[in-house]
A = this chain, B = another copy of it.
Amino acid sequence: MSETFAPYQKLLARMREVALVGSTGSMLSWDQETYMPPKAIDYRAEQLAFLSGWAHRQFTASDVGGWLEACEAHAFAPNSVEAVNVREWRRQYDRQARLPVALVEAMERARVLGREAWVQARKASVFETFRPHLETILDLNRQMAEHWGYEDSPYDALLEEYEPGVRASALKPLFAELRREIMAILPGAVAWSESTPADLLQGEYPEAAQQAFNREVAAAFGFDFEAGRIDTTTHPFCTGLGPRDCRITTRYDEKDFTQSLYGVMHETGHGLYEQGLLEEHYGTPLGSAVSLGMHESQSRFWENHIGRHPTFWERWHEAACSHFPGLRRLTPDHIGRAVSRVTPSFIRVEADEVTYDLHIILRFEVEVKLVEGQLSARDVPAYWNENFREMFGLEVPNDRMGCLQDIHWSMGSLGYFPTYTLGNLNSAQLFAAMHKAEPDLEAQLRRGSYEALLHWLRSRVHHQGCRLRPPELMVFATGQTTQAEFHVRHLRRKFLGG
């Protein structure tokens, strides 16, 4: 970073300012989800629209274009800090510069209002309350896709925002293959689960005790509570508000501690990625997560490959009993089977490891059809319910349990969902590679010793920031690009015994 090429320094200063205003907006959004009084919503929408408009103008100002050109003409060493940042800034600049300020601000407003309408709609299970907001969001997303441009489908232009380089035409066969494999595994996985009653873990788990246990687990995974916290929201999330400020949220069910616990493990995975980014590169691509699919690989890693590993409850049973004495009646193996129980169900975030991706595949289909104009917002509930029946063999009882369950569309995000499945595939692939590198991995997990794992993820993924693009990062970390086979093999081994 001793580089003193003036245009680069100007670019860096500008981008750090943009990141600072962006993180301020994230702070306002976090507050909106956690503590903001309801009547404050309109002014909060104004604030967010203003900040995002300001950041957009600063990011896309013509001087930025000039600095980028000067940097591109300059001979930065390949793969140097400067070369990587300039490459990514150029990509982002080209995308953002194509969006008119009015569209960016309209999107920000639609997000805030849409989010609030979704909360109400979901509460009352009335899709109609949310429909006009979905229409606005869809319309704005299509406008954005037109500004960005695409080859095959406007959906690709949206997807590019979350998972650079991935195309719907590539996801379709991958998801079709995954669907076939899951369908083949599902009956055996359900059979594996049948010896464990669905209500085995039902009991009394006071919220305060859950909070204490969750913190213990998150801290053991490596989450730094001096640089982060856990709050309560309807829809769990993780957000980085600065180089040492990462906030996780979860929700509690006092009859079932596993919802909040596995939610916290998941968000802790995201949080460890955020906390593992290099602080000296904060506000630049080198200090930023590379994609949502890679982010999700981290959450799924800790939630499924660690938290649902056969040895997990050997390590944590005693600690859990000190918070929840009722668990003494069960063996670690009982609990392990209960938290891995497979059964088709309605809610994505509560879905098991096997059926989870079926939820994503359904949303992916809905999104593509919405964006490509083959489905109208009005028809989403009917389409959802019909296809859900086909995939899961279940009748959706209401929209709250169906198409209103997720926050994403209300936040303006279309093209986000597929990254969840990419995350699942990546997490299994990373775990397999780590296992190869650490032959005594199972012994470490049995001891609850997570330092070596975290160190592996830090050096292979977190510290890399955007140095490599997602496919090359997977090659760097695991030896090959994202494959389905590791996830499928993980499921077969776990549920079919080989």
A contact set with B: CB distance below 8 Å? 17, 20-21, 23-24, 27-28, 31, 35-40, 42-44, 46-47, 50-51, 224-229, 231, 241-247, 282
CB atoms of B43 and A243 under 8 A apart: yes
B-chain residues with CB within 8 Å of residue A231 when the two chains form the complex? 35
Q: Would you call A244 and B20 a contact (CB within 8 A)?
A: no
CB closest chain-B residue, reference A246? B37
The distance from the CB of A32 to the nearest CB of chain B, in whole angstroms, is 10
Q: Told that A24-B24, A43-B242 touch, could you supply 11 new A-B pairs with CB distance under 8 A? A: A20-B50, A36-B245, A37-B226, A37-B228, A37-B244, A37-B245, A37-B246, A37-B247, A39-B226, A39-B244, A40-B244
* Residue contact B20 to A245, C-beta cutoff 8 Å: no
Tell me the smallest distance from the CB of A262 to a CB of chain B, in Å. Answer: 23
- How many Å lie between the Cα of A348 and that of B31 in the bound state? 32
Measured between alpha carbons, how far is A231 from B231 in the docked complex, in Å?
14
- Across the interface, do A245 and B40 meet the contact criterion of CB distance under 8 Å? yes
User: Contacts A31-B31, A50-B20 given: A37-B243 contact, CB under 8 Å?
Assistant: no
Q: How far, in angstroms, from A226 to B20 measured CA to CA in the complex?
A: 30
Residue among A50, A227, A242 having the largest count of chain B Cβ atoms under 10 Å = A242
Cross-chain contact B17 with A244 (CB below 8 angstroms): no
Residues of B within 8 A of A36 (CB): 245
Distance between Cα atoms of A40 and B282 in the complex (Å): 13
Asked if residues B20 and A229 are in contact (CB atoms below 8 Å), the reply is no
Selected from B42, B47, B224, B228, the residue in CB contact (under 8 A) with A24 is B47
A-B contact pairs, 24 of them (CB 8 A): A17-B50, A20-B46, A20-B47, A23-B47, A24-B28, A27-B27, A27-B28, A35-B229, A37-B226, A37-B229, A37-B245, A37-B247, A38-B226, A39-B224, A39-B244, A40-B227, A40-B241, A40-B244, A42-B244, A43-B242, A43-B243, A43-B245, A44-B242, A44-B245
B37 engages A225 (CB within 8 Å): yes
Give the docked Cα–Cα distance between A226 and B36 (Å). 9
Q: What's the least CB distance linking A310 to chain B, in Å? A: 34
Residues of B within 8 A of A31 (CB): 27, 31
CA distance A43 to B287 in the complex (A): 15
CA gap between A229 and B34 in the complex, in Å? 12
- The residues of B that contact A229 with a CB separation of less than 8 Å are 35, 37
A260 to chain B, nearest CB (A): 19
Nearest-CB distance from A481 to chain B (Å)? 35
A428 to chain B, nearest CB (A): 32
A242 touches B47 (CB 8 A): yes
Chain B residue numbers with a CB within 8 Å of A17 are 50
- From A23, which residue of chain B is reached at the shortest CB distance? B47
Point out the residues of chain B lying under 8 angstroms from A241, CB to CB: 40
Using Cβ atoms and an 8 Å threshold, which residues of chain B touch A247?
37
Using CB atoms, name the residue of chain B closest to A36. B245
How far is the CB of A267 from the nearest CB of chain B, in Å? 15
Quote the shortest CB–CB distance from A196 to chain B (angstroms): 36
Residues of B contacting A37 with CB < 8 Å? 225-229, 244-247
Residue pair A245, B39 in contact (C-beta under 8 Å): yes
- Chain B residue with the shortest CB-CB distance to A227: B39
**Closest partner residue, chain B, to A40 (CB atom):** B245
Min C-beta distance of A79 to chain B, whole Å: 28
Q: What B residues does A246 contact at CB under 8 A?
A: 37
Q: Which residue of B lies closest to A49 (CB)?
A: B20
A109 nearest CB across to chain B (Å)? 14
In the assembled complex, the CB of A180 is this many whole angstroms from the nearest CB of chain B, namely: 45
User: Which chain B residue lies CB-closest to A229?
Assistant: B37
Q: Which residue of B lies closest to A241 (CB)?
A: B40
CB distance from A25 to the nearest CB of B (A): 9
Q: How far, in Å, is A105 (CB) from chain B's closest CB?
A: 13
- Complex: chain B residue closest to A17, CB-CB: B50
Bound: A145/B282 CA distance, A: 37
- Nearest B residue to A38 via CB reads B226
CB distance from A55 to the nearest CB of B (A): 12
* Alpha-carbon gap, A227 to B24, bound state (A): 22
Chain B residues with Cβ under 8 A from A47's Cβ?
20, 23-24, 242
Chain B contacts for A40, CB-based, 8 A: 227, 241-242, 244-245
Instruction: Chain B residues near A28: list those with CB within 8 A.
Output: 24, 27
CB closest residue in chain B, given A42: B244
**Residues in B neighbouring A20, C-beta threshold 8 A:** 46-47, 50
> Which one of A43, A46, A228, A229 has the highest number of Cβ atoms from chain B below 10 Å of its Cβ?
A43
Instruction: Please report the C-alpha to C-alpha distance between residue A282 and residue B37 in the assembled complex, in whole angstroms.
Output: 17
Closest-CB distance, A230 to chain B (whole angstroms): 11
Residues of B with C-beta under 8 A to A51: 24
Query: A364: shortest Cβ distance to chain B, in Å?
Result: 36
